[in-house]
Amino acid sequence: MSADALIQRPPQGRRRRRWGESAQGWLYAAPTALFIVFLFVLPLLTVLRMSASDWPLLAGDQGWNLPDNFVKAVDNRFFADSVVFTLKYTVLATVLLIVLGLGLALLVQESTRWKGFLRTAFLIPSALGLASASLLFYVLYSPIAGPFAEQMNALGISFLGTPDAALWSTLFLIVWRYAGFYMLLMLVGLQGIPDDVYEAARIDGASRWQIFGRITLPLLRPTLALTTILCVTGSLLAFEQFYILTKGGPDNSTITVVQLIYSVAFQGQNDLGVAGALSVIVLIALVVINFVQLRAFRTGEES
């Protein structure tokens, strides 16, 4: 055997092994890849085509009509209102959930039996589905069957009767359902801050507020970024809570963008083309908003 052959053989063997590894890797990933292609990439391409086509719900594709659907979508009489309402709801829900999630996490951070109980109590509503929770509050807020029905009627207040009341009642439901979940994410983040950093600050005589402002918050930045992005995305796509609790009312004051898409596609207009155009607008808006958020959190990190 020549020296040449000796040198050449190992790479060859490695190449064959690498080919085998690739094939095996693809084999294990193949079912997922199939799902992604047929149930994610294909629908995504379909919605793009839909947004550029005349596409009634029952008749199906009637050919291209770009940009009619987008014009109709923006001209829809609820478009501007639903965008404004969705943004307002998103800001309020995100601020409430991040602040309360962090607050609850700080309350139950150490592990004692009482705090363990509190953690479980805060987390239990997260096990419910959003639809179940909305149905629960639908009864709870009811002026007939709710536990506060008599007081409400006596005082002339209603939980869902005015636009503002409906918004805040829905926000309460969302905080009830999600605060525990955000608390859990915050706890994970808090756990990642090493104890000796706190120790050092305490030895230097830092007050509680100084420790919170100068150590906890900055070191929690990755968690805050993740939870904010999660919450903003989820809130922008709000549907069930309003569909079940307020049905968009009173006076169409609580229509979110996703509700608008649903009603254009399946209730009345039955126009999948316009619904597709609205979906594409939401998709683009979401990508831009998330990109901006990521940039904001990253530049904050550098400074």
Partner 1 sequence: MARRPAMTTLGGVVIRTPFWVLTGAIAVIFLYPLVWTTISSVAPRAGTSQVDGWGFGNYLALADYQAGIWVYLLNSVIVSLATVAMTLVLSLLSGYAFARFRFPGKNGLFLLVLGILMVPYATLLIPLYVLLNQVGLSNSLFGVALVLTVFQLPFSIFMMRISFESIPKEMDEAAKVDGCSSFSALWRVLVPAVKPGLITVGLFAFLAAWNDFFAPLILINDSNRMTLPLAVSNLRGQVQGVVDYGATEAGVVVLAVPCILLFLILQRHYVRGFMSGAFKG
Token pair listed for 136: 């629960």
Pick between residue 19 and residue 91 the one whose CB is nearest to partner 1.
19
Decide if 104 contacts 179 (C-beta within 8 A): yes
Token pair listed for 262: 């649903």
Smallest distance, partner 1 to C-beta of residue 3, A: 30
Q: Return the beta strands (E) in the chain as ranges.
A: none
Smallest distance, partner 1 to C-beta of residue 54, A: 14
Q: What are phi and psi of 271, to 5 degrees?
A: -110, 100
Q: Which stretch binds partner 1 (CB under 8 A): 5-13, 77-85, 211-219, 265-273?
A: 265-273
Pick between residue 3 and residue 114 the one whose CB is nearest to partner 1.
114
C-alpha atoms less than 13 angstroms from C-alpha of 189 in its C-beta half-sphere: 24
By CB under 8 A, residue 191 contacts partner 1: yes
What is the sign, positive or negative, of the torsion defined by CA atoms of 39, 43, 45, 46?
Answer: positive
C-alpha atoms less than 13 angstroms from C-alpha of 4 in its C-beta half-sphere: 1
- Candidates 78, 198, 212, 239: give the one binding partner 1 (CB under 8 A): 239
Span 154-183, contacts to partner 1 by CB under 8 A: 176, 179-180
By CB under 8 A, residue 197 contacts partner 1: no
By CB under 8 A, residue 232 contacts partner 1: no
**Hey, how many other C-beta atoms are within 10 angstroms of the C-beta on 128?**
14
- Candidates 53, 189, 220, 224: give the one binding partner 1 (CB under 8 A): 189
Decide if 173 contacts 97 (C-beta within 8 A): no
Which residues partner with 271 through β-bridges?
56
Smallest distance, partner 1 to C-beta of residue 48, A: 9
By CB under 8 A, residue 138 contacts partner 1: yes
Residues in Cβ contact with 263 at an 8 Å cutoff, skipping those fewer than 6 apart: 248, 269
Tell me which residue has tokens 């950093």. 197
- Candidates 87, 92, 118, 152: give the one binding partner 1 (CB under 8 A): 118
Token pair listed for 188: 């994970």
Span 63-102, contacts to partner 1 by CB under 8 A: none
By CB under 8 A, residue 120 contacts partner 1: yes
Pick between residue 32 and residue 299 the one whose CB is nearest to partner 1.
32
Smallest distance, partner 1 to C-beta of residue 157, A: 18
Pick between residue 71 and residue 121 the one whose CB is nearest to partner 1.
121
Pick between residue 107 and residue 157 the one whose CB is nearest to partner 1.
107
